[in-house]
Homo-oligomer: A and B are copies of this chain.
Amino acid sequence: MKIVQAAQFDLRRDVEYGSEEQVAIVKRIVGDIKAEGDAALLRYTESLDHTKLEASQLRVTDAELQAAYSRVEPSFIEAIAAAAANIRAFHERQKRNSWMDLQPDGSLLGQIIRPLRRVGVYVPGGKAAYPSSVLMNVIPAQVAGVPEIVMVTPPATGGREGIDPYILVAAAEAGVNEMYRVGGAQAIAALAYGTDSIERVDKICGPGNIYVALAKREVYGLVDIDSLAGPSEIVVLADETADPEYVAADLLSQAEHDELASAILVTTSERVAEYVSAEVERQLSLLPRENIARASIENYGAIIVTGSLEEGIAVVNRLAPEHLEVMVQNPVDCLGLIENAGAIFLGPYSSEPVGDYFAGPNHIIPTNGTARFASPVDVDDFIKKSSLIQYSKQALLANAATIMELARREGLEGHARAIEVRVNKEGAARRAD
């Protein structure tokens, strides 16, 4: 693993947003679903997913769900249930209350928090169908109070017959109410516009291929969407007390995701730098996904040696990584200085997979330097807020002159008159009291 200067290193990678041809294909699919509904949905499911269905077969039945439960190991069901309980407990802490302020002049101001009514979660087929990602998308919505959570996923997963039973079980454990066997841009369009079989949603989330991503962009505004996830990243900040075997294993757990994934060590210790470099090579050769991990390490991996921990933290803040592990003597002491990191793992036992699968915080985290301004998926992503104003007559009359002055300053006489018409009537009424 190469040792580089901090200044040379930039974590940002170019993320593909699709070719003109792909955009055109997606626009056509979305337009057809909007115009024809189920008919187009079934047609594209046949032509693109090679599955001929009737409208009545789109929804996954209870019997299929029961069958899925019987096809997976009991230990998997237990593991998913345990992870789901932790994820639920963590996200429960993020719930917020509506509030109101009662003013001495009789007015009331407030903020109402409501869950979205209906959310669609896309789950890709193929190798990227991760049960853990189902939990991470569904549970925050459920904790937010979203009454209707819908999953869509291609009719066959990873070359198998039908939908992967592990995905079905994870969705059921997470609390999905409805599941449909549709995928691709056609599924996104069905969620956004609604068809006879699939009622439209308020928000669509979950990862997918480039056609899914482009379709989400296409329908954004009509519904909300989550943000586009880039390739995954880890930065490990380590001093001389860090265990190089742990550091190397954690770097590789990220690198094995994707050839575009990035794994970076920032360390104050030359010894740790060299040891980790050698250890990465040793562990790499033993990994089933060696080719992917090696490409990631060679193209987007780096070891950066800094003169001090403060300098190392400055590098971290510049990189703004998705995942940050802090393996130094007193990790909590760094927290005040770490400005930009999506998820922070402290100490030797907080290996990133602890968070990917189990601890409770969400594993959908801002990538590609966007932790500077973005946040992990959470309950806030599934609520909406309404402001509330109830002014009393007293409050209106007391502040009318100020409001009218501001409105007239902006040339909006109609705004001023909406106040004035009340002052003329109520002010007079008050004088007559």
Contacts and interface: CB of A to CB of B under 8 A. Distances in A.
A231 to B, nearest CB: 14
B93 A414 contact: no
B343 A389 contact: yes
A356 interface: yes
B389 A384 contact: no
Nearest to A284: B414
A390 interface: yes
Given A349-B393, A389-B346, A407-B357, A245 B425 contact: yes
Interface string A345-364: 11111111111111111100
A414 B131 contact: no
A287 interface: yes
A291 interface: no
Given A371-B384, A422-B349, A389 B359 contact: yes
Interface in A365-405: 365, 368, 370-376, 378, 380, 383-393, 395-396, 399, 402-403, 405
Interface in A263-288: 283, 287-288
B389 A361 contact: yes
A79 interface: yes
A166 interface: yes
B418 A253 contact: yes
A411 interface: yes
B358 A403 contact: yes
A410 B221 contact: no
Contacts of A412: 253, 256-257, 289, 353
A433 B394 CA distance: 74
A357 to B, nearest CB: 4
Given A99-B93, A221-B370, A418 B335 contact: no
A82 interface: yes
A114 B373 CA distance: 10
Contacts of A78: 402
A9 interface: no
A177 B209 CA distance: 43
A298 interface: no
A61 to B, nearest CB: 24
A214 interface: no
Given A253-B417, A393-B349, A406-B80, A378 B374 contact: no
A415 interface: yes
Contacts of A425: 243, 245
Contacts of A101: 90, 93
A250 B418 contact: yes
Contacts of A228: 221
Given A93-B101, A388-B344, A368 B418 contact: no
B391 A354 contact: yes
A350 B103 CA distance: 14
Contacts of A114: 339
A388 B107 CA distance: 40
A53 interface: no
Contact of A246 (B347, B349, B385, B421): B421
Nearest to A12: B222
Contact of A166 (B224, B341, B409): B409
A357 B132 contact: no
A181 interface: no
Contacts of A31: none
Contacts of A373: 116, 202-203, 223-224, 384
B406 A79 contact: yes
Given A94-B111, A346-B389, A387-B365, A354 B396 contact: yes
Closest 5 CB pairs of A and B: A361-B387, A256-B414, A375-B385, A346-B390, A224-B373
29 contacts: A79-B402, A82-B402, A83-B402, A108-B346, A109-B361, A111-B378, A114-B339, A166-B409, A203-B373, A221-B228, A246-B418, A253-B414, A256-B412, A283-B417, A331-B390, A344-B386, A345-B390, A349-B395, A350-B389, A351-B391, A357-B407, A357-B415, A359-B391, A361-B389, A362-B387, A373-B384, A375-B383, A376-B386, A376-B387
